[in-house]
Copies of this chain bind each other. A is one copy, B any other.
Amino acid sequence: MPEQTLTTGKRLVEAATALLDSGGEAAVTLRAVAQAVGVSHNTPYRHFADRAALLAAVAERDFTMLTDAFTATEGTRLQPLAKVKDALDAFVVYGETYPARYRLLFSDPGIASPGGELEAAAMRSFAAFAKLIEGAQASGDLPATMPTATLTGVVFATVHGLLDLQAGGRMREEKGLSRAAAGVAVLFELIAPRGDAAAQSCATVSSP
């Protein structure tokens, strides 16, 4: 029984994650989590302040995982814009594969406590992604007419909007976009047409 080697706290986080994936946020009751681990229904309170704290622990683990993925992409020898697309592809796959987890991290209002460790983990993820955007701005593949944080924010908001609409079953309404991945491709068509070559060649031609 390899699970017995884990501490009870870690096992509770794992059980909560499994319930989240299989039945959505409503399925993550402290009683169900406790039963899955094999402890009494109020043992979770020995390890977490309340239900929100348990969910926050699940979210924090995934934020760290995402940060690692973005950092790994940065270490590759891909072109700057390819790094951004690579990271976003991984992000979209994560959001499509684990929609309930995705919403916990990026939408749930109940777990966000300002100044906590969760917020710090979320900011590290954002910073790791912003670094990729910065690289694509420096190489001229993405517009450098605005601060990196601003561009990163809008790109992230768009991808989040696509994933959240899909997770909420609202993609049906947009006949123009069947899946989030398609929307990301359209976004790049809009903000980096032909690797921003159009804007660059335009600037070259119109200069005296």
Contact = CB atoms under 8 A, between A and B. Distances in A.
Given A109-B167, A189-B146, A122 B161 contact: no
Given A106-B165, A168-B106, A174 B190 contact: no
A153 B33 CA distance: 38
Interface string A141-178: 00101111111111011111110110111101111110
A126 B161 contact: no
Contact of A112 (B108, B153, B169): B169
A187 B154 contact: yes
Given A122-B170, A157-B174, A161-B164, 19 more contacts: A107-B168, A108-B168, A146-B189, A149-B174, A149-B175, A149-B176, A150-B176, A150-B177, A150-B186, A153-B177, A156-B174, A157-B162, A157-B177, A164-B164, A198-B199, A199-B202, A202-B202, A202-B206, A205-B205
